[in-house]
Amino acid sequence: MKKLLVFVIFILFLSMPLYAAEDSKGFNVDVVLTSTATMSGNPVTVPGRDNIKIEAHVVEIAPKSGIGKHSHPYPVLTYVLSGSVEVENEDGTKKTFEAGESFIEDANTWVINRNTGDETLKFLAVLYAGKDQKTFTLKE
């Protein structure tokens, strides 16, 4: 149980995806961590999966801008640091998350992230994937 808690806390303070494609403009992604090892030097593992990497991204999106359709091979934890983000799933449903809120994007689902507000949106995203696997895919 303690190992699971440590892993969840580790994930919470890490990453997200690079995006581009349709409707993408006015954003910046700062990859603050890409690692296949813990702070102790041990390989990052999760139940049923070895050789994974974890990435932490701090993403900024200018007002009235967004990140086009993208997907991830595994769920992505997102924590909104400032502003608000509108997330549109491939089925057209939209949800808005404000500063201080967190959410998890679905795996293998096309999503669009938009800043519909008047201030810069900033969020922390935590992603993981196989060691040699992309953490995101851009829709062409």
Each residue's pLDDT, cut to its tens digit, for the chain (140 residues) gives 445 434 444 444 443 333 333 345 677 787 888 889 888 898 888 788 888 899 999 999 999 999 999 999 999 999 999 999 999 999 999 999 999 999 999 999 999 999 999 999 999 999 999 888 899 887 86
Q: What is the pLDDT of residue 39?
A: 85
Give Cβ neighbours of residue 106 (< 8 Å, ≥ 6 apart). 75, 89
The domain covering 2-138 belongs, at the CATH homologous superfamily level, to Jelly Rolls (2.60.120.10)
Q: What is the pLDDT of residue 88?
A: 97
- Strand intervals (E) in the chain: 25-35, 52-71, 76-82, 84-89, 94-98, 102-105, 111-115, 121-130, 137-138
Separation of alpha carbons 66 and 50, rounded Å: 34
Q: Is the pTM of this model over 0.85?
A: no
Give the dihedral sign, CA 41/79/26/22: positive
